[in-house]
Amino acid sequence: DVPGAVADDDHRAEAEAPAALDDLRHAVDLDDTLLERGVTEVLSSLREVPDDSHRDPPAWLRIVREEIDDRGSGVRVRDLAARAGVHPVYLARQFRRFYGSSVVSYLQRRRVTRAADLIASSSLGLSTVAFQAGFADQSHLNRAFRAGTGFTPGTYAGLIRSRPSFE
């Protein structure tokens, strides 16, 4: 492992998101193809940034990540660790080592991604989206969504819902 590799990957992902957001902001004035590309880039910036390790994570860690992906909300690190039969600190270290981010950051990105998907695919109100994506309330959704995408959920909803449908 290269010291600082995870931090470099995290900073690279954070540095790429503003460029994608710029494209998205300008796409509103341009065309739907560019808008869709910008939305895709913003959402992909929320995905995990794996480290340079070429080894596969242990089976128990893959199961933990699958549980996070399946449940998404209401998951606590100490409960995940207990079900995996490992100490929470060990889980946190191994998760960062193999997936390039902390468990908490990964959970937050999954919630923001779920919220973005709900906004894009439904007409649910933002408080309902917040609840269904696993946030305590709409204000938590607003803060996490803005931190992850650079947009408020309302602005994102306006951009997505103003696109013409091609169905």
Q: What does the DSSP assignment read for 41-97?
A: HHHHTTS----S--SPPPHHHHHHHHHHHHH-SS--HHHHHHHHTS-HHHHHHHHHH
Q: What is the pLDDT of residue 134?
A: 87
Q: What is the pLDDT of residues 116-157, one digit of tens each?
A: 999 999 989 999 999 999 898 999 999 999 999 999 999 999
What average pLDDT does this structure show over 96-125? 91
